[in-house]
């Protein structure tokens, strides 16, 4: 449900932000499948960056 909310907000973005969001969203979905332990931490920071973008 949270992803859907972010996606709805994403529809109102500018093109440049859309690209950034797509990159983050892909990272969100595919990042979980990697065995690398640091991946989860990186994902959290990426998501925080995304949420900062949303608030602008």
Using the predicted structure, report yes or no on whether residue 50 has a pLDDT greater than 60.
yes
Spatial distance between the Cα atoms of 43 and 27, rounded to a whole number of angstroms? 7
Q: What is the pLDDT of residues 7-49, one digit of tens each?
A: 666 666 566 666 776 776 666 555 555 545 555 556 667 777 7
Residue the block writes with tokens 């998501």: 47
Spatial distance between the Cα atoms of 49 and 53, rounded to a whole number of angstroms? 6
Give the residue extent of every domain in the chain.
2-55
Structure tokens at 14: 């500018």
Q: CB within 8 A of 6, min separation 6: which ones?
A: 21, 25, 50, 54
| Cα separation of the two ends of the chain | 22
């Amino acid at each position: 449900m949270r992803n859907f909310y972010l996606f709805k907000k994403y529809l109102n973005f500018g093109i440049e932000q859309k690209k950034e969001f797509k990159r983050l969203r892909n990272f969100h979905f595919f990042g979980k499948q990697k065995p690398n332990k640091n991946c989860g931490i990186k994902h959290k920071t990426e998501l925080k960056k995304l949420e900062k973008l949303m608030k602008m």
